[in-house]
Amino acid sequence: MGALFDTATSFWTLRASARLAARGCRGSSDAARFLAELEVGVLRLQREIRSGCYAPVPLRRFMMRLGPIRRILSTHGRRGSQRGA
């Protein structure tokens, strides 16, 4: 494709992005499982993106009330699971 696409979908860029994303999910069993097999997951993601068959998991939105404050939060299920659908 192009140099920017190749850089954005390089193994090292995707690996660094996955590690940064997992930092925000500390304590999550899904994140721990992904990090345990990081290289395999990154290679699979890279292959899906470059072949054009990658489809992100849809987000599930819900409202959380903390006293008078209301927040809309988003979460997603794992790929291949019914959670979050």
Greatest mean pLDDT among 44-48, 75-79, 81-85 lies in 44-48
Q: What is the pLDDT of residues 31-43, one digit of tens each?
A: 788 889 999 989 9
Residue 14 CB coordination number (10 Å): 18
Residue 6 CB coordination number (10 Å): 11
Give the pLDDT confidence score for residue 14 in this predicted structure: 95
Give the pLDDT confidence score for residue 78 in this predicted structure: 60
Residue 3: phi and psi, rounded to 5, are -60, -40
Q: What is the pLDDT of residues 56-67, one digit of tens each?
A: 888 888 888 888
37 and 30 Cβ atoms separated by less than 8 Å: no
